[in-house]
Amino acid sequence: AQSVTQLGSHVSVSEGALVLLRCNYSSSVPPYLFWYVQYPNQGLQLLLKYTSAATLVKGINGFEAEFKKSETSFHLTKPSAHMSDAAEYFCAVMNLPIQGAQKLVFGQGTRLTINP
């Protein structure tokens, strides 16, 4: 079974500082990996995805993530945090069975707080 572990349920950074949100996955097959952002009382918005193409993936709002197979990691980064980045972030791995629908398995989430 596939799983995702997000290290740190809460990360706090200063405005303008580097954002690093950690995600490690477990998968017996090459995974598809996703990062989503959730603002309070809203659904999920896709930030970026890895689907076995380039290992460095660029997403929206200046975020990027690097797939490292040797480390089974897919950490999310942003060079300079903005106040509007404050939200909950979820890493997810997709189960790709031969038959049936592909299911997303989510990590526990990381709440990002930006200090002025």
Partner 1 sequence: GAVVSQHPSWVICKSGTSVKIECRSLDFQATTMFWYRQFPKQSLMLMATSNEGSKATYEQGVEKDKFLINHASLTLSTLTVTSAHPEDSSFYICSARMAGSNYEQYFGPGTRLTVT
**Which residue among 1, 29, 43, 116 contacts partner 1 (CB under 8 A)?**
43
Q: Where are any strands of DSSP class E within 15-109?
A: 19-26, 32-38, 44-50, 56-58, 64-68, 73-78, 87-95, 103-106
Should residue 22 be labelled a site residue for partner 1 when binding is judged by CB under 8 A? no
Residue 70 per-residue DSSP state = T
Site for partner 1, residues 74 to 93, rule: CB under 8 A: 90
Q: Which stretch binds partner 1 (CB under 8 A): 20-28, 58-66, 72-80, 102-110?
A: 102-110
Should residue 55 be labelled a site residue for partner 1 when binding is judged by CB under 8 A? no
Give the 3-state secondary structure of residue 84: helix
- Strands 103-106 and 87-95, bridge-based pairing: antiparallel
**Which residue among 7, 17, 86, 94 contacts partner 1 (CB under 8 A)?**
94
**Which residue among 5, 17, 22, 49 contacts partner 1 (CB under 8 A)?**
49
